Amino acid sequence: MSIDPSELARQLAALRKPKQVLCPVCGTQAVGVGRRTYCSVRCAKLAWWRRNYGAAARSPQDAADLQEWENEGGTSEAEEA
* 40-45: long-range contacts, CB 8 A cutoff, minimum separation 24: 42/73, 42/74, 42/75, 45/74, 45/75
The string of pLDDT tens digits covering residues 61-72 is: 667 777 787 888
**Alpha helix positions (H), the chain:** 5-15, 41-53, 60-71, 77-80
The better pLDDT of the pair 53, 23 is held by 23
Looking at residue 61, what is its pLDDT?
Answer: 67
**Structural domain spans, the chain:** 41-81
Looking at residue 81, what is its pLDDT?
Answer: 42
Count Cα atoms within 13 angstroms, Cβ side, for 55: 1
Looking at residue 76, what is its pLDDT?
Answer: 56
Model pTM above 0.75: no
